């Protein structure tokens, strides 16, 4: 397709998303792109602020809106942000270091609410009823590996994956969550069709709410023909569980932003059933047009990273 056609596709998708959310009672907000930098903000793009009058000479460009959005749920039960985010990724067919992210937050909801909202957005964009599958990682692993991940920890799951999938060339030095996520990617995410994948192991996301006392999460991801389009989870409200899971993965997962969230949780400022849905706009465009992400990044000749 031509650049002119792609600009129109992206415009129509953005308008459809906004119209649906506003109709459902959401309000649009805007949060800072320059966030506080700490010594442990690894994997984030640092911005030098030497020409700005400030005591904070460095900041990092946000990877997502989620932490700040959650704090704004104190003031409104339904909010969303549609804005630029930045990750340290080399451009390829499905990734770009600068991308447009729609994140939708709400209080007192369930994951089913976000699934129905996602289906409504897809049906509107594709102009037809969407046929989709819901795939449980819990059930898939029970059939594939013969174990119940609801009751085992990440180390045991990793050992079982490595033992039964030597042909997939896993490396023993990889962390527990990296091995588990690679297994999910190789065996589940690449399935054809429109698939909502749920029942993720607890080690795969520190912010997502644990399902009761199990090792599963209230979380799903949406894949269309193997391309990740959306990610959703309920926010963890158990303070100690949240802190421990952050520190188990890495000390860099528990820094300034996480400490702020903990203070909110300790003061009971978050409803127990709040959650978030994130949709990558360029990836949604790719799924619609069956093309690469490069086709929906405009004005590339001005980009700093090219």
Eight-state DSSP code of residue 206: S
pLDDT, averaged across the chain? 87
In the numeric block, which tokens belong to residue 182? 């690679």
How far is residue 271 CA from its own chain's centroid? Answer: 20
pLDDT higher at 25 or 43: 25
- In the predicted structure, residue 40 carries a pLDDT above the cut 60: no
For the chain, which domains are there? 1-108+277-306 (3.30.930.10), 112-235 (3.30.930.10)
Q: Please tell me the number of Cα atoms within 13 Å of 252 on its side-chain side.
A: 7
Nearest Cα to 106, choosing from 293, 273, 286? Answer: 273
Residue range 292-304, pLDDT digits in tens = 988 998 887 787 6
What pLDDT, on the 0 to 100 scale, is given for residue 18?
98
Contacts for 93 with CB less than 8 Å, ≥ 6 apart: 292, 293, 294
Contacts for 303 with CB less than 8 Å, ≥ 6 apart: 98, 297
Eight-state DSSP code of residue 267: T
Residue range 190-246, pLDDT digits in tens = 999 999 999 999 999 888 999 988 999 999 999 999 999 999 999 988 888 888 887
């Amino acid at each position: 397709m031509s650049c002119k056609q792609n600009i129109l596709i992206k415009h129509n998708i953005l308008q459809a998303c906004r119209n649906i959310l506003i109709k459902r009672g959401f309000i649009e907000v805007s949060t800072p792109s320059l966030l506080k930098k700490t010594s442990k903000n690894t994997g984030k793009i640092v911005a030098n602020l030497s020409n700005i009058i400030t005591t904070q000479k460095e900041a990092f460009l946000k990877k997502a809106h989620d932490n700040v959005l959650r704090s704004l749920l104190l003031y409104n039960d339904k909010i969303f942000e549609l804005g630029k985010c930045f990750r340290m990724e080399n451009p390829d067919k499905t990734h770009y270091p600068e991308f447009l992210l729609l994140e939708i937050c709400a209080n007192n909801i369930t994951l089913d609410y976000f699934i129905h909202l996602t289906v409504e957005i897809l049906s509107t964009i594709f102009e037809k009823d969407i046929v989709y599958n819901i795939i449980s990682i819990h059930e898939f692993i029970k059939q594939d590996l013969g174990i119940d991940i609801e009751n085992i920890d990440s180390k045991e799951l990793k050992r079982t994956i490595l033992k039964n999938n030597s042909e997939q060339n896993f490396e023993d030095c990889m962390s527990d969550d990296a091995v588990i996520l690679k297994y999910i990617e190789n065996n589940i995410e690449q399935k054809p069709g429109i698939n909502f994948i749920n029942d993720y192991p607890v080690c795969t996301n520190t912010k997502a709410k644990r399902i009761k006392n199990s090792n599963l999460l209230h979380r799903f991801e949406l894949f269309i023909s193997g391309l990740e389009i959306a990610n959703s989870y309920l926010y963890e409200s158990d303070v100690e569980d949240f802190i421990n899971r952050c520190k188990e993965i890495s000390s860099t997962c528990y820094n300034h932003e996480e400490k702020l969230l903990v203070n909110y949780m300790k003061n009971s400022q978050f409803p127990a059933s709040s959650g978030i849905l994130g949709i990558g706009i360029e990836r949604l465009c790719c799924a619609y047009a069956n093309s690469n992400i490069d086709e929906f990044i405009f004005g590339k000749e001005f980009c700093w990273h090219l």
